[in-house]
Amino acid sequence: MGYPNVNTLWAETLAEELAAGGVDAVCLSPGSRSTPLTVAFAEHPEIRTFSHLDERSAAFFALGRARRTGKPTPLVCTSGTAAANFHPAVIEADQSGVPMLLLTADRPPELTDSGANQTVDQEKLYGDAVRWYRDMPEPEAEPRKVRMLRTTAARSLAAATGSTPGPVHLNCRFRKPLEPTPVPDDDPEGVPDDWADGDRSAAEGRDGPFVRTEQGRPELPADEVVRVARAVEAADRGLLVAGPADDGLAPEALEKLAAATGFPVLADPLSDLRFGPHVDRLDAPVCGGYDAYLGSDAVASWADPDVVLRFGASPTSKPLRHSLRDSDCRQFVVDPAGGWTEAEFTASDLLVADPNATASALAERVTARGEASWRRRFAAAERAHWNAVEDALAPGERYWEGGVLADAARLAPDPTTLFVSNSMPVRDLDRFGRPRTANLTVLGNRGASGIDGITSTALGAGSATDDPLVLVTGDLAYYHDMNGLLALGRCGVDATIVLVNNDGGGIFGILPIAEHDTFESQFRTPHGLDFGPTGDLYGLEFRRVGDRAAFEEAFEKSVDSAGTQVIEIQFDSGESHDRREELTERSRRAIATR
């Protein structure tokens, strides 16, 4: 029948159905119990394999790839603590709605809680963080079970990519022999030939996967669109707020909505709307400086908005979130996943609907635009802010961490995948990354906002396209996922890694704890690590630069060349913090006095 034993039948069938369902890559970590899955994926002609030695990095790599592609990259690991190493990335995938498929190998049921080697309780290992969980039955060459397996493969992909995308966990139990060793008793007599030889789809008139899934997108009924459109066109001062989203509002839909409403667009750097050709085409300002001026005295005289249309998750910018909180107005949150990601509890209407269909439908219905002076006000504030940032980057001015983000966004080739770490890089990009027309796909892990797995997530995203990959990270994140650098050579990813090194937790300098005795030893926690040796360790070029000119030169050279370059630039976190505040103050003054 072509299958030496039931484990092979089972694993090959699973791989085949996943491939038919669109899976084109898988992350494998070496181990014994997962042998059937590893062999099946490695031998599948249409599935690319990425081999990772550290399962934590593997899971973040798969997360990053899925962020960039919208499709899950299944993860395979052996039994035991290996599976628990996936957990941090599972939580990030849950929180940010990224598809993920976890295939954890496990011992057969008779060894559960028996003290057998590498046997732990993997049932519901990730708790409520997964969309769907199955403890898979034992492999068996029985027609109904094989149909179940094929259906489960389709269902797991559907659950991972459905209306609320996220992780799915299949716990896969295998009994020895795990290798494709002939087991005469396993001869899958009961399974029809046309399933076993791969022709079963055609034979049964199926088209590709055993179960083809089409996921409908929620759309508002027409009368509801009218109701929202009435509220929108009645407003003089509206805002379109685009928060972080991997697959959020598309530029085309935004263009239509901006044209119809004339509302300024506040584009989070992770919204995928701060950068792109639409920036110049839009019939309203695309704002990226709001983190510096909203909520400040500079705009204290501005009236509140009277309607807000929000897309994506809660914005990265705290001033923006607080400004929305303090605006006593109608706030529509459009979220196809119905996620209620609304930490300030300011939404008045939740629209569980496709953002693009909703924006387009609204654009057709809205018949009056908001005040031109409101638009102009934002446009002028933006001009003042970006001029202030540009001045701060002039020769002779002191360079600071935010300047690195400003430059990375400015110098990144068109197109680029730009990944920014928590905790400061994403905030600095938010404040200092000027909107431009280049196609920058900006990604970050803002679901749970951890500093773990940053490098691996970036490299996973980079593995998905031929676009140049730029990662801007801090020293703590760089240290935390140093193991992730192994994927550069092993998984064939090239990157430009900008390492903003302030020797510890720079972010704590902006928190009140900076005033206390334990700050240095327990919060800023300087590590004093010289990361130079990571160059030799992982076969990358490690270059330390001291000023802006050297950074620019190294950056431009790196994005133009093959291989991976780490460009380290060191800052004193206290000075950088002061400079950030100083420039924000300059920007506010410019806005107030324009």
Token pair listed for 65: 């790839």
- In the block, residue with structure tokens 């590590």: 527
The residues near 578 (Cβ < 8 Å, ≥ 6 apart) are none
Interaction of residue 2 with a second copy, rule CB under 8 A: no
* Residue of 5, 27, 44, 56 that binds a second copy (CB under 8 A): 56
- Structure tokens, 483: 């193991």
Q: State residue 548 phi and psi, 5-degree precision.
A: -65, -45
447-466 residues near a second copy, rule: CB under 8 A: 448-450, 452-453
Residue with tokens 């299949």: 170
Helix-helix angle 6-20:143-161, to 10 degrees = 40
- Give which of 18, 11, 19, 16 is closest to 37, Cα–Cα: 11
| 91 is a contact residue toward a second copy (CB under 8 A) | yes
Question: What residues from 17 to 36 belong to the interface with a second copy (CB under 8 A)?
Answer: 28, 30, 32, 35
Instruction: Choose which of 247, 342, 349, 414 interacts with a second copy (CB under 8 A).
Output: 342
Q: Under 8 Å CB-to-CB from 463, ≥6 apart: which residues?
A: 25, 50, 61, 64, 65, 487, 491, 492, 493
Residue 277 CB burial class (10 angstroms; 0-12, 13-18, ≥19): middle
Report CA Rg, the chain: 26
Task: Give phi and psi for 34, each to the nearest 5.
Answer: -85, 10
Smallest gap from Cβ 311 to a second copy, in A, equals 14
* Contact (CB, 8 A) for 307 and 349: no
Pair of tokens at residue 403: 């300047």
- Cβ closer to a second copy: 24 or 414? 24
Q: Which residue in the set 190, 326, 340, 376 belongs to the binding site for a second copy (CB under 8 A)?
A: 340
- The residues in 460-499 that bind a second copy, with binding defined as CB under 8 A, are 476, 479-480, 482-483, 486, 490
Residue 350 in the binding site for a second copy (CB under 8 A): no
- Considering the complex, state which of residue 171 and residue 261 has its C-beta at the smaller distance from a second copy: 171
Answer yes or no whether residue 294 interacts with a second copy by CB under 8 A.
no
Segment interacting with a second copy (CB under 8 A) among 189-197, 199-207, 333-341, 358-366: 333-341
Q: Does residue 133 interact with a second copy by CB under 8 A?
A: no
- Is 110 or 364 the residue whose CB approaches a second copy more closely? 110
- Among positions 1, 22, 48, 87, the unique one binding a second copy when judged by CB under 8 A: 87
- Number of residues interacting with a second copy: please give it, by CB under 8 A: 92
User: What sign does the CA torsion over 179, 182, 184, 186 have?
Assistant: positive
175, 179, 171: which is closest to 152 by C-alpha? 171
Task: Give the residue, chosen from 352, 523, 572, 585, that forms a contact with a second copy under the rule CB under 8 A.
Answer: 523
- Minimum CB distance to a second copy, residue 89 (Å): 8
Regarding 45 and contact with a second copy (CB under 8 A), the answer is: no
Is there binding between residue 511 and a second copy (CB under 8 A)? yes
Interactions with a second copy, residue window 151-180 (CB under 8 A): 177-180
Among 165-173, 276-284, 461-469, 529-537, the segment contacting a second copy (CB under 8 A)? 529-537
Between 210 and 531, whose beta carbon lies closer to a second copy?
Answer: 531
Backbone angles phi, psi at 130, to 5 degrees: -110, 150
